[in-house]
Structure 1
Amino acid sequence: MTTTPATSSESDVLARITEVLHRLLDDCDPVPGGITPATRFVDDLDLESIDLVTLTGMLRAHYGEQVDFPGWFASLGLSEIARLTVGHLVRHIVDSLR
């Protein structure tokens, strides 16, 4: 069920991503000090590509079709995906909802 808010602030989106990451990572605290916009998916959270697919699938259930996760990932190069941060994803979602 999609519960897309008309607009979302960066702090709202960060909170949603953090919640989903905790579910994805079995509620462990994956990063000392918590997940921030600077948290890197690969280096800090040790996520693999299948984990990113799962993450975006869970976020799509909330944000719906308005946020094009597959298209966004397809536009990124491998090195960009390897350096991807939570902040990059937050900005993509917020920009898509505008």
Structure 2
Amino acid sequence: MLRTLLEEYALDDAEITRETTFHDDLELESVDLVTLSGSLREHYGDRVNFAAFIADLELDEIIALTVGRLVDHVVVSLRATERS
């Protein structure tokens, strides 16, 4: 999903690790996070609520958001729905 989004900015060959930040490293804006949120919702449905995840973060945490932290959120969300 992230690679698809990055293709729009010709960043599809960028190295992405768990420490890669959306803001500083990938230079994504808030509208890009909305697009990513839509992709996550389309793929996972209600099992992964990115909007609620972001809503619980402070502005500096959103700016410092890493790929790894988002991946952790997805994994935790999916595991929680498996137990239900």
Q: Which has the higher contact order (CA 8 A, sep 6+)?
A: 1
TM-score, normalised by the number of residues in structure 1 = 0.73
**CA displacement at 1:22 relative to structure 2:** 1.8
Q: Counterpart of 1:49 in structure 2: which amino acid?
A: S
RMSD in angstroms over aligned alpha carbons?
Answer: 1.3
Q: Which residue of 2 aligns with 1:10?
A: none
Q: Name the structure with the higher helix share.
A: 2
How many residues end up aligned between the 2 structures?
Answer: 77
Distance 1:70 1:22 in 2: 20
Give runs of ≥4 in structure 1 deviating > 2 Å: 27-31
State which of 79, 83, 87 in structure 1 corresponds to 2:68: 87
Q: Which runs of 5+ in 2 are unaligned?
A: 80-84
Q: Residues 1-98 of structure 1: matches in 2 within 5 Å?
A: 20-26=1-7, 28-29=11-12, 31=14, 34-98=15-79
TM-score, normalised by the number of residues in structure 2 = 0.84
